[in-house]
Amino acid sequence: MYRYSEFDELFVRRRVEEFRDQVQRRLSGSLTEDEFKPLRLKNGLYLQLHAYMLRVAIPYGTLDARQMRQLAFIADNWDKGFGHFTTRQNVQFNWPKLADVPEILEALADVGMHAIQTSGNCIRNVTADHFAGAAADEISDPRPTAELLRQWSTDHPEFQYLPRKFKIAVSGSPRDRAVTKAHDIGLRMVRNQRGEPGYEVLIGGGLGRTPMIGATVREFLPENDLLAYVESILRVYNLHGRRDNKYKARLKILVHETGVDSLTHEIEDEFAERKKWFAGVDRELVANLKAAFEPPVFDLSRTRAFEDRKERDSDFRVWTDTNLSRHRCSAYAIATVSLKPIGGTPGDATANQMRVLADIAERLAHDEIRVSHEQNIIFPHIPKDKIPEAYDLLAAAGLHTSNFGLLSDIIACPGMDYCALATARSIPVAQDISRRFHDLGIERTIGEMKIKISGCINACGHHHVGHIGILGLERAGVENYQITLGGDATETAALGDRAGRGFSAEELLPALERLVAEYLRLRDSAGETFLEAYRRMGPEPFRAALYPEAKKLAA
């Protein structure tokens, strides 16, 4: 993985000291909250419902053991003993005291981490496929691209005050595990007819109050032209993006109002001008970045430890069948550690659990950890012979839930338990759903099912692209939950269809039970997923299950 250079280190340290002075002035009263707000947001510090929240950047979701241990140290010393891993592949601390934040930032800097550009109208943390460098279907590792974009975008003088926040995602495989079509810029690594690597470029994706799927503006962009083209997109957006209404300020609105063809022409014209003086990305820099992300030396020796444990331990077998994915090397696997225990808070990990994850990475998994946008932790390179030992350590820490990709592997935003913007709770809803279907014992019968929950229209829980999406809103002082169906966050991305009226918190679980029961009744085989069944049959049978009273009235 990439290690900070001397320049990186100096840059981050100076930002810490600058913010330390700003915090002291806020505490002394020489800065008002209105004056302090833009300063704290530039350093990832939010004022939430009950306390400050610090969002720490984890570029493209990549960590090592030393960094994970430092997050545990911060959780124990300056928070309430846990951290929350997010859909932006970041980690959030929900209870820091303002006076302690400079010390937290100093501790982060000690391990090459920071909170810069995790908030504000700038280019946010660049995200990437959490299986990067390990996936069997990978065209090219997307992390060198993501790191190049991180270096280019950090403190970029032209793009620090954009019309609105700006998000970029990079996928290196035909299978899109980075939700590229729901970002301002999505980069999908492809090869042209000559086999040369490059990018399909999408723009204008995003969720929130006006969800849109990104549109392709370049079928193939050579690697060497990346920065010039991305900068051209940002320049056009910065010039023409709306600043009169923050709800209409995202790039997706500009695409919608201007039209993708017209905007593409303007981007291409800007790109042609920039190409006149920009010869391309520095090849030595690119070579150094690619070298930083070279895969580890794989141990190809094998025993029967993995197979023997599967044969004699049914719990271990279920976990391996559910939570392991195919690695490019047959002696290895990609292990997903679920942060969704039954009845737990999606994305939360205690300080002790973080230390266990660090120990496993360091001793058994080539010192690599990833955070997924699905709020789970990934060991991208773990030898199969080491998996039994890793599983035992995970089980002792309560991290062995076998539900990756299943119904209880729910994405949920913090909702009204933490967020000042939320209008309904998300966490208790996720907990109730996971408990109920676990008690019914039908999760494995159901198979793959992506449930995503947001506590307001900002859609931090990605509900629009859930197979089943749940949006919590407030209606006359009462929480009301709308259901969307048929969303998809992969390369076949789609926005879910709103099913109908919303449900009260008490009505929601029975409605979901009816919906799932109808899917199980109607699917054409045990292998047909909910999304496949929905696309085959359309919404009507599922709406009828959700709203049986409407069916009775029609009869």
Q: What is the pLDDT of residues 248-258, one digit of tens each?
A: 999 999 999 99
Average pLDDT for 495-508: 97
Of 290, 322, 351, the residue that ends a domain is 290
Structure confidence at residue 554 (pLDDT):
59
Q: Which amino acid is at 228?
A: A
Mean pLDDT, all residues of the chain:
96
Do 34 and 178 fall within a single domain? no
pLDDT given for residue 526 in this prediction: 84
Which pLDDT tens digit goes with each residue over 406-420?
A: 999 999 999 999 999
Q: What is the pLDDT of residues 152-190, one digit of tens each?
A: 999 999 999 999 999 999 999 999 999 999 999 999 999
The answer to whether residues 70 and 176 belong to one domain is: no
User: Is 20 within a domain?
Assistant: yes
pLDDT band at 281 (very low <50, low <70, confident <90, very high): confident
- Co-location of 201 and 284 in the same domain: yes
Q: What is the mean pLDDT of residues 510-536?
A: 96
**Phi, psi (rounded to 5 degrees) for 58:** -125, 85
Integer Cα distance of 26 and 23 in angstroms = 5
Report CA 67 to chain centroid distance, whole Å: 19
pLDDT computed for residue 416 by the predictor: 95
Taking residues 216-227, report their average pLDDT: 96
The label of the residue with tokens 């403190």 reads 155
Any idea what the CATH number is for the domain that residue 426 is in? Answer: 3.30.413.10
Position 492 pLDDT exceeds 90: yes
For residue 114, being part of any structural domain is answered with no
State the pLDDT at residue 551. 66
Among 6-10, 276-280, 447-451, where is mean pLDDT lowest?
Answer: 276-280
Q: Of 109, 143, 173, which closes a domain?
A: 109
Tens digit of pLDDT for each residue in 19-63?
999 999 999 999 999 999 999 999 999 999 999 999 999 999 999
Q: Give me the residues paired with residue 349 across strands.
A: 83
- Residues 215, 279 within the same domain: yes
Residues 166 and 242 in one domain: yes
| Residues 469, 378 share a domain | no
Q: Please, are residues 177 and 129 in contact by the beta-carbon 8 Å criterion?
A: yes
Cα–Cα distance for residue pair 340/402, rounded to 1 Å: 9
Number of separate domains in the chain:
4
Predicted local distance difference test score (pLDDT) of residue 553: 60
Claim to verify: residue 496 and residue 532 sit in the same structural domain: yes
Domain-located, residue 263 = yes
pLDDT over 60 (residue 531): yes
What pLDDT score does 185 carry? 98
What pLDDT sits at residue 476?
87
Quickly state the pLDDT bin for 555 (edges 50, 70, 90): low
What is the predicted pLDDT for the residue at 549?
Answer: 85
d(CA 364, CA 333): 12
Instruction: Please measure the distance between the N-terminal and C-terminal CA atoms of the chain and give it in whole angstroms.
Output: 62
The answer to whether residues 269 and 310 belong to one domain is no
- Here the CATH number for the domain that contains residue 373 is 3.90.480.20
- The kind and range of the H/E element at 272 are helix 260-277
Q: Does 270 score more than 80 pLDDT?
A: yes
Where does a domain end: 369, 396, 423?
A: 396
* 280 pLDDT tier (thresholds 50, 70, 90): confident
CA 216 to CA 213: how far, in whole Å?
Answer: 10
Same domain, 103 and 232: no
Kindly state whether residues 283 and 140 are assigned to the same domain: yes
Look at residue 406 and tell me if it is in a domain.
Answer: no
136 pLDDT band, cuts 50/70/90, is very high
User: Is 119 part of any domain?
Assistant: no
Domain membership flag for residue 296: no
401 found inside a domain: no
- pTM score of the predicted model: 0.96
Q: Is 404 a domain residue?
A: no
Query: What domain range is 311 assigned to?
Result: 305-396
Sheet holding 369-371, edge to edge: 62-63, 369-371, 377-383, 332-337, 324-326
- The answer to whether residues 372 and 415 belong to one domain is no
521 and 438 in one domain?
Answer: yes
Q: Are 345 and 415 in contact (CB under 8 A)?
A: no
For 309-345, the pLDDT digits (tens) are 999 999 999 999 999 999 999 999 999 999 999 999 9
